[in-house]
């Protein structure tokens, strides 16, 4: 399946793995890249030395195949990480949770392909003007920090507004999602939640079990009143947060205190009492854990059949 995205990124399949904070480390990124997609290492708020090591380990595992780094722009380390990707010769950067405009010139000068994740047409247009090579139009079905627009509404509007290629994200976990994205005008997909339930994903077994057991109504958005809405799997903890937000018993400050460090507690400890298990709304459709290569091959075989190739 050749599109402007496979051409831009030099990959076999037009699929990017979401740069999931605390989740997307070198093993997962390398597995996705070696399966023909583009794996991403999540910068998150990790120390620079740790990320340099992650990048080098991924490079060693994939050779000259393409992988990238996701930069979470709210991270206090974003400036250093923006420089690190240049110093390490990383070919692709995706960004989230903000406007990467101030880094764009340096990245372009270094030949880095820049793909901002955007939740609106307005930001997409600004990114194209600033020199982005493509954008990920991410719908509110996604896990983690989200905008308000759905994938179905956002993707065609971004496609209509831009000349550069658009990658669809949010609620895509099988070939039907890929085919639908292409019908909306996307030329690639970004997938996160499906890769949580992969063999190579290093998250705590409790997290994988929550994804596999989730049903359609098992995700909840918390933190709208803090300005950082996040989609999580329903657990005792996320339901407590949602309730505290709704009935006013938790102030935004108390909410922030309770969720400090909660991503790590979910991913590394499987802590159901204090962890935030970020996850997309499509988890209900995911019922098994398998290798990334199988996930990707099956998704594209189904999509190609549906698209009549």
Write out the residues near ligand TUI by the rule CB under 6 A. Answer: 21, 72, 96-99, 117-119, 123, 138, 144-147, 228, 230, 278
Q: What is the CA angle 240-140-135, rounded to 5? A: 140
Measured from the CB of residue 166, what is the shortest distance to ligand TUI in angstroms? 14
Measured from the CB of residue 147, what is the shortest distance to ligand TUI in angstroms? 5
Report residue 2 as tokens.
């050749």
Strands 135-138 and 166-169, by their bridges, are parallel
Nearer CB in complex with ligand TUI: 175/222: 222
Measured from the CB of residue 277, what is the shortest distance to ligand TUI in angstroms? 12
Nearer CB in complex with ligand TUI: 97/299: 97
Nearer CB in complex with ligand TUI: 30/146: 146
Nearer CB in complex with ligand TUI: 35/266: 266
Measured from the CB of residue 97, what is the shortest distance to ligand TUI in angstroms? 4
DSSP H or E run through 196: helix 193-196
Write down the H helix ranges in 63-143. 78-87, 101-109, 121-130
DSSP string, 239-283: HHHHHHHHHS-S-HHHHHHHHTTHHHHHHHH--TTT---B--GGG
Measured from the CB of residue 297, what is the shortest distance to ligand TUI in angstroms? 26
Quick check: 117 and 135 in contact, CB under 8 A? yes
Nearer CB in complex with ligand TUI: 65/145: 145
- CA atoms of 295 and 149, how far apart (whole Å): 27
Report residue 294 as tokens.
């199988």
Residue carrying the six token digits 């020199």: 131
Give the CB-nearest residue to ligand TUI: 144
Nearer CB in complex with ligand TUI: 136/179: 136
Measured from the CB of residue 230, what is the shortest distance to ligand TUI in angstroms? 6
């Amino acid at each position: 399946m050749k599109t402007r995205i496979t051409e831009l990124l030099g990959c076999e399949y037009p699929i990017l793995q979401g740069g999931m904070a605390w989740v997307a480390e070198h093993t997962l990124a390398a597995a996705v890249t070696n399966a023909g997609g583009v794996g991403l290492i999540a910068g998150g708020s990790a120390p620079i030395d740790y990320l340099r090591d992650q990048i080098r380990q991924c490079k060693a595992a994939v050779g000259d195949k393409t992988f990238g780094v996701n930069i979470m722009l709210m991270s206090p380390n974003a400036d250093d990480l923006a420089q690190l990707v240049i110093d390490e010769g990383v070919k692709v950067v995706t960004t989230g949770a903000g406007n990467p405009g101030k880094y764009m010139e340096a990245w372009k000068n270094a030949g880095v392909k820049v793909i901002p994740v955007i939740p609106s047409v307005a930001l997409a247009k600004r990114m194209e003007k600033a020199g982005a090579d493509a954008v990920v139009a991410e719908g509110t079905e996604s896990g983690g920090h989200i905008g308000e627009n759905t994938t179905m509404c956002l993707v065609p509007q971004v496609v209509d507004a831009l000349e550069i290629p658009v990658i669809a994200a949010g609620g895509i976990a099988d070939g039907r999602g890929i085919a639908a994205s292409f019908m909306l005008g996307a030329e690639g997909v970004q997938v996160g939640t499906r890769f949580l339930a992969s063999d190579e994903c290093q998250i705590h077994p409790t997290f994988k079990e929550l994804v596999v057991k989730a049903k359609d109504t098992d995700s909840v958005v918390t933190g709208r009143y803090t300005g950082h809405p996040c989609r999580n799997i329903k657990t005792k903890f996320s339901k407590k947060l949602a309730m505290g937000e709704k009935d006013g018993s938790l102030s935004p400050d108390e909410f922030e205190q309770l969720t400090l460090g909660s991503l790590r507690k979910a991913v590394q400890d499987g802590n159901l009492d204090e962890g935030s298990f970020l996850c997309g709304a499509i988890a209900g459709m995911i019922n098994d854990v398998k290798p990334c290569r199988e996930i990707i091959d099956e998704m594209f075989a189904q999509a190609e059949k549906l698209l009549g190739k």
